[in-house]
Amino acid sequence: MNVGHRDGHAKRAWDIVWAWPALTIVKGEFKVQDSVIATFGTATVRGVKQAAACRFSAIPYAEPPVGARRFLPPVPRALQGNVDATRPGPVAPQLPSRLADAMGDFDAVQSEDCLHLTIWTPAPDTARRPVVIWLHGGAWQSGGGAIDWYDGSRLVSEGDVVVVNINYRLAALGWLCVPGEPANVGLLDCEAAIDWVADHITAFGGDPARITVMGQSAGGSNIASLLTRQPRFHRAIIQSGSMGRGYRTRAQADTLGLAFLKALGVTSLDEARALPVQALLDAQRDSGVMAALAQEGSGRSLFCAVLDGTVLPLAIDADLAAAPGKVDLLIGSTEDEMAAFPGLGRDADSRAYGDRIFAAPAAAWAQAARAAGRNAWRYQFAFGPSERFGACHCIELPFMFGNVDAYAGAPMLEGMTAADADRLVAQMLPAWLRFIRGDSPGWAQAPALQTFT
């Protein structure tokens, strides 16, 4: 349903690489592009060869979570036959981001049928390159893997790696919790996508034994949650993750969930499955839902991970304490995190608040990883060209992806010179690539702190 804008084994080398020209329409004109093919099991996936990388778009990793599957855990999808991955797919249904005043906004088709991933690779061959999987942020309510902000082609071209971006369900569709029903299905989406990559990435030139999962904000917090389960990755990059602050108890989540059902005018998820997706989005702004959130008094996002006793334990402290010991870690935050959020700024109280939520947990995780015998590096991003936003939440994203042009007009970058952008990309993108490839990013391990200014 569109709501508007905003299994097998890899074949051998001679089975998986071939191409033919494809026609696409660019600004009303036909343009010939070379197609590339990846084959696994009985599926043949056709992508597009771009200047810097081959791109495979909107590959389904689970069955469409629509109709009777709405609000339920993802069901793995076994691809068969010809799969057209030449065109970008939709993102999950969502309202505009609350950080749009800082970041700007993006335009993308939205659909409940969004459980897709996008792969960039130098070639779908047998090279067994390092793989990085991106989990986007957005307070579990906005964002998507299939947007230009997170285009992986520059990482691919400069690092000879494979980049995978995933969509996962957002807001009520992925994180609503009501008594007696499954919770955390958005987190299970992330896990299902990682499983898909581990099982099939050899067909796209990647190495399932060298997977890094990288996430920012809610995406970084999702990594922390996944590490309390049975992760199929051994390296993680966590950028501005709250690292445990975002969890709700089951009782808190059920209370908020019942308020959400009331706003919808229904009494069960079964009834909610029959509603148009726009009704679910509108309910996020309902006064009763806002009152229930305020009464909780936690300062948390409207949606987040829940300690449900099934996907995540009822008491998670011990599992979180053990989580950093499962991965080599690159972790950090920005200097003025809270300046991106409405009602907060760059004053001493806002900065202390941001340090408490983001910087202090990052330092603790790095220390715990080192104590467990893992490698861990810390960073802080302190470049802030605008007086209003400074080095706010999300500001490092254009530079570690090397996609500064995709953020044209972003208020948080106002005042930045081209020289600033080039310098920061030259510092950050190679450092992230070194870590993804299994090496040091280029500075001493924690407790040392690398600052980007």
In 3D, which of 314, 316, 288, 312 has the Cα closest to residue 302?
A: 288
Taken in order 94, 95, 101, 104, the sign of the CA dihedral is positive
| CA dist., res. 140 & res. 2, Å (int) | 20
In 3D, which of 331, 327, 335, 334 has the Cα closest to residue 366?
A: 331
| CA dist., res. 314 & res. 447, Å (int) | 31
Q: Which member of 111, 153, 217, 242 is catalytic?
A: 217
Contact call for residues 418 and 426 (beta carbons, < 8 A): no
Contact call for residues 188 and 74 (beta carbons, < 8 A): yes
| CA dist., res. 450 & res. 220, Å (int) | 19
Q: Which member of 112, 191, 335, 337 is catalytic?
A: 337
Give the CA diameter of the chain. 61
Residues 188-208: b if buried by 16+ CB within 10 A, e if exposed: bbbbbbbebbbbbbbbbbbeb
Q: How far is CA 446 from CA 49, 277, 441, 443, in A?
A: 40, 45, 12, 9
If you write DSSP's letter for every residue of 60-127 in order, what string do you get?
ESB----GGGTTSPP-B----EEEE-SS---B---PPPTTHHHH------EES---EEEEEES-SSS-
Q: How far is CA 403 from CA 96, 116, 347, in A?
A: 21, 22, 29
Could you give phi then psi for residue 27, rounded to 5 degrees? 50, 45
Contact call for residues 437 and 130 (beta carbons, < 8 A): yes
In 3D, which of 235, 222, 146, 237 has the Cα closest to residue 187?
A: 222
Neighbours of 310 (CB within 10 A): 13
Strand ranges, E, within 229-360? 235-239, 248-249, 306-307, 328-334
3-state SS class at 417: coil
Query: Is 393 tagged catalytic?
Result: yes
Query: Is 337 tagged catalytic?
Result: yes
Q: Which member of 240, 350, 393, 396 is catalytic?
A: 393
| CA dist., res. 162 & res. 142, Å (int) | 25
Which residue bears the tokens 């709250």?
A: 242
Query: Is 9 tagged catalytic?
Result: no
Contact call for residues 105 and 96 (beta carbons, < 8 A): yes
For the annotated catalytic residues, the residue numbers are: 217, 337, 393
